[in-house]
Amino acid sequence: MNVLPRWINQAVSDFAAAAGFGGILFNGSAAAFRFENGVTLRIEHSGRALAMALDAPSPETPDAARAILAAADPFRSPHFPVRAGMLSDPPRAVLAAVMEPADISPGELDRTFRTLWNLMENLRRRIER
């Protein structure tokens, strides 16, 4: 099992408290938080980097797949690369970013979360049309 460095745990805890999430508890090296609208925030430490991902229900259609890929367009998120994908059973759209240790701070976690959240909300509106 990957041991989460204490300073990363503290940065994530500070980010969660400032964002009003309450306590986010890590289970080993990963944590998750589900919002009332069905979106799930996942944070996972790989031993080298920290990944933050949002996933939400999505139809399994070609139009939805194109919209998910379009959400990862570098012009929509000039600060960092966004990875996009789809999980199945049940189908969920995923948008994620990977943060290197030098980039991990409560402020950067907040900026990454807000960017992913805005991209996900735009994606959900495009898919629901």
Tens-place pLDDT, residues 27-76 = 778 888 888 888 999 998 887 888 999 999 999 888 988 999 888 888 76
Full domain range(s) for residue 13: 6-128
Residue 111 domain-assigned? yes
Comparing 3 with 88, the larger pLDDT belongs to: 88
- Whether the pLDDT of residue 25 is over 70: the answer is no
Q: How far apart are CA 45 and CA 57, in angstroms?
A: 24
Q: Does a cis peptide bond (omega within 30 degrees of 0) precede residue 90?
A: yes
Q: How far apart are CA 61 and CA 103, in angstroms?
A: 35
Q: State the pLDDT at residue 92.
A: 93
CA dist 105 → 12, 71, 96, 113 (Å):
8, 25, 17, 12
Residue 62 domain-assigned? yes
Residue 1 domain-assigned? no
Tens-place pLDDT, residues 79-96 = 788 999 999 888 999 999
| Domains held by the chain: number | 1
DSSP type of residue 26 = P
Q: State the pLDDT at residue 77.
A: 67
